[in-house]
Amino acid sequence: MAITISELYGKKIISGTGHWIGEVGEVVIDVENGTVSHLLLGKIDATKAREMVRELFKNSVEYKRVKKVTDTILVSGN
């Protein structure tokens, strides 16, 4: 099943143990591989683009952890 990137925005992210992690604010694309890399929890301020790398690792979920996408996004781990 395929979904569009825009369908990910605003979805709640839940861990495999049932803990709420956050909501998708931004989607990071790996343009070299043509895949989704990370789901950011919140929006990136365009005026602070230099801080994006720090925010990426601090407030994000690696897309490879995604196990299921329905009304919510279920990810592995805590």
pLDDT (tens place) for every residue of the chain, 78 residues total: 688 999 999 999 999 999 999 999 999 899 999 999 999 988 776 666 666 667 667 789 999 999 999 999 999 986
How is domain 5-75 classified at the CATH fold level? SH3 type barrels. (2.30.30)
Sequence-ordered list of residues with C-beta below 8 angstroms from that of 59, at least 6 positions apart, any chain: 22, 40, 41, 42
Sequence-ordered list of residues with C-beta below 8 angstroms from that of 66, at least 6 positions apart, any chain: 39, 73, 74, 75
Residue 46 is predicted with a pLDDT of 63
Residue 43 is predicted with a pLDDT of 74
| Domain assignments of the chain as residue spans, ordered by start | 5-75
Residue 49 is predicted with a pLDDT of 64
Residue 52 is predicted with a pLDDT of 66
